[in-house]
A = this chain, B = another copy of it.
Amino acid sequence: MKVTVIVELKPSVLDPQGKAIQHSLSSLGFSGVEDVRAGKLFRITLADSGQSRPEVEQQIRQMCEKLLANTVIENFSYTIEG
């Protein structure tokens, strides 16, 4: 089972990495770049243990809350395939 987790800074949190990329793109001649936000993506392969979909979703949420995301400043989302 393949899970894709996306972790992004909350919209209200400043993103210096994104700003740096935005300025670099402008310096390289790309015009019209109004905003850049940088995030993280994790492709997780889970063994098929016969868990129900809700159980898998709960496990993923716990992974995000305990390790992958800092929920004080970051939001996470996930998609499950297969």
Shortest C-beta distance, A51 to chain B (Å), equals 8
What number of A residues sit within 8 Å (CB to CB) of B?
32
* 13-61 of chain A: CB within 8 A of chain B: 18, 21, 24-25, 28, 30-47, 49, 59
Point out the residue from B33, B59, B62 that lies within 8 Å of A44, measured CB to CB.
B33
| Sampled A-B contacts (23; CB under 8 Å) | A6-B41, A8-B41, A8-B43, A18-B42, A18-B43, A21-B42, A25-B67, A28-B66, A28-B67, A30-B62, A30-B63, A31-B47, A31-B49, A32-B49, A33-B44, A33-B46, A34-B46, A35-B45, A36-B43, A36-B44, A39-B42, A40-B41, A41-B41
